[in-house]
Structure 1
Amino acid sequence: MSDNPAPQSNARKVFIKTYGCQMNVYDSDRMTDALAPHGYTPTTDMGEADLVLLNTCHIREKAAEKVYSELGRIRDFRDERGPGAKKMLIGVAGCVAQAEGEEIMARAPAVDLVFGPQSYHRLPDLVERARTERVVDTEFPEEDKFAHLPAPRREVTISRGLTAFLTVQEGCDKFCSFCVVPYTRGAEVSRPVAQVLAEARALADAGVREITLLGQNVNAYHGLDAAGQPVSLGALCHRLAEIEGIARIRYTTSHPRDMDDELIAAHRDLDKLMPYLHLPVQSGSDAILKAMNRRHTAAEYIDIIGRMREARPDMAISGDFIVGFPGETDADFEATVEIVRTIGYASAFSFKYSSRPGTPGAGMDNQIEEHVKAERLDILQAEITRHSQAFNAGCVGMTFPVLIEKPGRNPGQVAGRSPYLQAVHITADAGLIGQILPVEIIGLAKNSLEGRIVTAATAAV
């Protein structure tokens, strides 16, 4: 990477469209940070961009086709600008790029640059190369990309708001038979403790009050401390809780096999660690869980939730479900509906199984017909919605600490988040933004809660 950033007089614009998970949101921010010392500023107007990047996700079916469709629209937009317009480079990043780099170049001649999630620290050099040649970089480099990525300027972090994502772990060693992540993100790697703490302190210094730790299997975190000893996610949360200014800590996404006693105890002992756990189970059927290579049973999952709720009685649970996995019978599906009833999820995401090329599930017999998947998904989503609505209704009359994040949709209104990630709208002055205040929940809206501040005094958190 060049040590001589482009002068500001040569400022260029970068437009990034982000698909998929929170890690892609974080990665898009880090791409912006990597380009900033080289004269690039972000824009939301593709028409003024010198560089357009699609940060892609490969989890769902037809994800690649959506990317090609979007690339066609961008190509047409660029061509319509005419021969006198400034050159616009087009790049594809993320997991689709990692999985299909050469194919993207073959199918989309307008693309100048394709690079995977492990190459962001090399982005400025890759962009410069792309001015004279088409570039593909989808190798898994030996160097730590986080050690080479520049930190964002303080004013940039401030502009991003009071909450922030912080990637602490990447990759996956679980090899669930439906999932492409091990092939697109690589093996599990954890960032060193000192590196994570330094980034968290910088966020706190810029006014961030809440951080969400990210990882494909975030609770598999095992970053090394200064003595070269591995540190668990629970221990990391204890260290992060000591940082002044950080009032709330969350993490996602977890795997049941990595929910250890130390992490459960951290929920018991740390008020800053929010009482909200996203723990995907995917199916309630042991036969399907085995076919998925999840390596846990439904009973083991239920036991984990029980131990978590014993440690933190106010804990709310979120989850992920896949219906229509190959071989799923009516009884298997009913077991999934039953685990929703047993756990009582505050929220959950559910999907029809989609075959991903290169995964074991794609070659399995007994693929489920689409209409059966659709029927099962409707039934499951209705059950999830029933529990989610009951959870929200149960919050009415309760008082929660709410982080006031921004102005509300209406004049004289502010918006924040409960400990359970619910949006809360409050009639209050915008001067309260940034504070954590006790808020009584007084009503329900379609996708949010309505609250009123119990006291004007700030909560020292």
Structure 2
Amino acid sequence: MNSIEHATRYSGIGILRRIFYKIPSCYNKIIPSSEISSFNNCDVRRHFHKTIQRCAVSESKEKTDVLDKLEIRKFKKNLISRGPDLKKFMPIHNDTQYLKAEEIPYLKPVDGQNKKGCMAERLKHKILEKERIVDVVAGPDSYKDLPRLLAITEDNETAINVVLSFDETYADITPVRLNPDSVSAFVTIMRGCDNMCTYCIVPFTRGKERSRPIESIEDEIRRLSDQGVKEVILLGQNVNSYRDDSMNSFINDSQTNLAKGFKTVYKSKKGGLRFSDLLDKVSLIDPNMRIRFTSPHPKDFPDQVLQLIAERANICNQLHLPAQSGNSDVLERMRRGYTREAYLELIQHVRNIIPNVYLSSDFIAGFCGETESEFEDTLSLMQIVKYNYAYLFAYSMREKTAANRRYNDDVEEWVKKRRLQKMNEIYRTEVKKLNDAQIGQQQLILIEGVSKRNSQHLVGRNDGNVRVIISNCTVQENKSSVHTRKVVPGDYVVVQISDANSQTLRGIPLYFSSISDFTPSIEQRFRAYCE
């Protein structure tokens, strides 16, 4: 299993430490579609890790790959979509033994470890007391407190801070960019979730929804544009419920507009700048910078958001609409706030406004009480909608959730696995058809870099976030030019799709272009759609 590992010199309160960071590869995505999504859970965790690093280290930090001088280790774990809690202690124990193993004699035993994130908030004292292999427990809202927490461990003490905040957004923290040459960057715009789905632990571990001031988001994206970043992914636990009420001038009587047929467990929120306002502003910063966002809730797609996506060429025509189930009774038990019929109506409405939209979704197999008939409704929904991506999971009960209090986890594990496999088969069949239909199309591809499997190939992504492979060769400078040059990461290249499978497209590079030059106007797109 690959991991990102590096060390940072840390100046704390009267101490000098080096910190070792390890973020395990994303193995919580059950199906291989995680390989073709540029912002799967692993990437999102990497982004939050960069925020942690900025909080933990001083401005005089010194990065090093020398592991034999490490004194502190950080493990970033995520429990939301993984197995039972007790298994989470094993990676920590195993990593400690790994560093002490005889096969790597140049590594010293590590004198401190710390745990942060939603697992930290949930298990708290259990983590500190389990074999004393962890010294610091830091919740998701305590990253700024890391210098103090780490200093406490100097006296052989343990430290804990898992208090959730009502207003912490880390708006004043600029995440460390581990790869300054990356063409993409993540920008957190909000934290927390108010939806209270019965299976989900996020509201209890990440707290109430709170949004960054819109001005700070604009400033960060401008800096990224100046640094040559060509794609920004807006992040949030419920990203499209963004609402900036940081200034008095934003306070008014406007109500939250939900998609038709959707409801919430909380009262309508009044005033503030909404997600459509944010998309409007950030998409104007750099017309040739792609804008994506994750992870949304289907309820928060009013027409203002959909129409803006259709109008702005640099807001990608790709939407994540997590259904979780295709059966209304299961959705009611999940407290999702919509029925199968309302969800399908939203899908049709989205496709009417954004023709050729790429859709992705989440599905859970074997939620409490799910019958075979209810599960068949999920399969039929997948066949009707036809998703370009699907993240599929077998249900795993979480402590503190409403499902843990109200329901029994009564679907046997072998049944969950069988249903998961069936969902995967349906998804693969449908996505292969969708990818095959793109053969012959000319698409604008943002080049990310050289393929890890073959240095003679380059990898990029189209507007729908599908991975596209092309030859590493010279390309015409524009559509009518006779001059050519090599393709480098960050280039936009027009590619004719020549082959496809369920995960990847392959194409022939034609010429360099840009979003503004390649994408037809909204009037032209509407005319073509009508024809």
SS at the partner of 1:432? coil
Question: How many pairs were matched up?
Answer: 454
SS at the partner of 1:176? coil
Change (3 A) 1:77 1:350: closer
SS at the partner of 2:440? coil
Q: How does 1:351-362 map to 2 (within 5 A)?
A: 351-362=393-404
1:129 is matched with 152
For the pair 1:14 / 2:20, whether they are aligned, the reply is: yes
Q: How does 1:76-225 map to 2 (within 5 A)?
A: 76-79=97-100, 85=108, 88-132=111-155, 133-141=157-165, 144-150=168-174, 152=176, 156=177, 159=180, 161-224=182-245
Query: Are the counterparts in 1 of residues 121 and 140 from structure 2 also a CA contact under 8 Å?
Result: yes
Which consecutive unaligned segments of at least 5 residues does structure 1 have? Answer: none
Query: Are the counterparts in 1 of residues 450 and 459 from structure 2 also a CA contact under 8 Å?
Result: yes
For the pair 1:382 / 2:425, whether they are aligned, the reply is: yes
Code of the residue aligned with 2:330 in structure 1: it is I
SS at the partner of 1:271? coil
Residues in 2 aligned to 1:458 and 1:182: alpha-carbon distance in whole angstroms: 40
SS at the partner of 2:160? strand
Q: CA deviation at 1:61?
A: 4.5
Change (3 A) 1:82 1:412: closer
Q: CA deviation at 1:432?
A: 3.0
When the two structures are superposed, what TM-score results if normalisation uses the length of structure 2?
0.79
Q: Which of 94, 97, 101 lines up with 1:73 in the alignment?
A: 94
Residues in 2 aligned to 1:428 and 1:83: alpha-carbon distance in whole angstroms: 40
Q: Which of 347, 356, 359 lines up with 1:314 in the alignment?
A: 356
Residues in 2 aligned to 1:66 and 1:431: alpha-carbon distance in whole angstroms: 45
Residues in 1 aligned to 2:304 and 2:126: alpha-carbon distance in whole angstroms: 44
Residues in 1 aligned to 2:322 and 2:17: alpha-carbon distance in whole angstroms: 44
Code of the residue aligned with 2:145 in structure 1: it is R
Q: Which of 366, 385, 392 lines up with 1:324 in the alignment?
A: 366
Change (3 A) 1:439 1:317: same
1:395 is matched with 438
Query: Are the counterparts in 2 of residues 14 and 42 from structure 1 also a CA contact under 8 Å?
Result: no
Change (3 A) 1:44 1:332: farther
Query: Are the counterparts in 1 of residues 122 and 205 from structure 2 also a CA contact under 8 Å?
Result: yes
SS at the partner of 1:396? coil
Change (3 A) 1:402 1:287: same
Residues in 2 aligned to 1:241 and 1:182: alpha-carbon distance in whole angstroms: 29
Query: Are the counterparts in 2 of residues 15 and 49 from structure 1 also a CA contact under 8 Å?
Result: no
Residues in 2 aligned to 1:85 and 1:383: alpha-carbon distance in whole angstroms: 49
1:427 is matched with 471
Query: Are the counterparts in 2 of residues 211 and 246 from structure 1 also a CA contact under 8 Å?
Result: no
Code of the residue aligned with 1:239 in structure 2: it is K
SS at the partner of 1:161? coil
Q: Which of 278, 296, 320 lines up with 1:254 in the alignment?
A: 296
Which consecutive unaligned segments of at least 5 residues does structure 2 have? Answer: 1-9, 29-40, 252-271, 474-485, 518-531
Code of the residue aligned with 1:107 in structure 2: it is K
For the pair 1:414 / 2:469, whether they are aligned, the reply is: no
Q: CA deviation at 1:151?
A: 5.2
When the two structures are superposed, what TM-score results if normalisation uses the length of structure 1?
0.91
Range 237-246 or range 224-233, more displaced = 224-233
SS at the partner of 1:395? coil
Query: Are the counterparts in 1 of residues 288 and 514 from structure 2 also a CA contact under 8 Å?
Result: no
Query: Are the counterparts in 2 of residues 194 and 225 from structure 1 also a CA contact under 8 Å?
Result: no
2:416 is matched with 373
Q: CA deviation at 1:76?
A: 2.2
Query: Are the counterparts in 2 of residues 323 and 353 from structure 1 also a CA contact under 8 Å?
Result: yes
Larger RCO: Structure 1 or Structure 2 (Cα < 8 Å, ≥ 6 residues apart)? 2
Change (3 A) 1:459 1:139: closer
SS at the partner of 1:319? strand
SS at the partner of 2:399? coil
Q: CA deviation at 1:290?
A: 0.4
Q: How does 1:248-287 map to 2 (within 5 A)?
A: 248-287=290-329
Change (3 A) 1:365 1:72: closer
Comparing both structures, which one devotes a greater share of its residues to helix? 1
Range 63-72 or range 84-93, more displaced = 84-93
1:244 is matched with 286
Q: CA deviation at 1:328?
A: 1.2
Deviations 1:145-180 (A, max 9, x none): 51442554xxx4662511011111111111111111
1:447 is matched with 503
Change (3 A) 1:84 1:243: closer
SS at the partner of 2:279? helix
Query: Are the counterparts in 1 of residues 56 and 143 from structure 2 also a CA contact under 8 Å?
Result: no
Change (3 A) 1:233 1:6: same
In percent, how many aligned pairs have the same letter?
A: 26
Range 443-452 or range 397-406, more displaced = 443-452
Residues in 2 aligned to 1:222 and 1:84: alpha-carbon distance in whole angstroms: 48
Code of the residue aligned with 1:384 in structure 2: it is Y
Q: CA deviation at 1:42?
A: 5.0
Query: Are the counterparts in 1 of residues 359 and 388 from structure 2 also a CA contact under 8 Å?
Result: yes
Range 94-103 or range 117-126, more displaced = 117-126
RMSD, aligned CA: 2.7
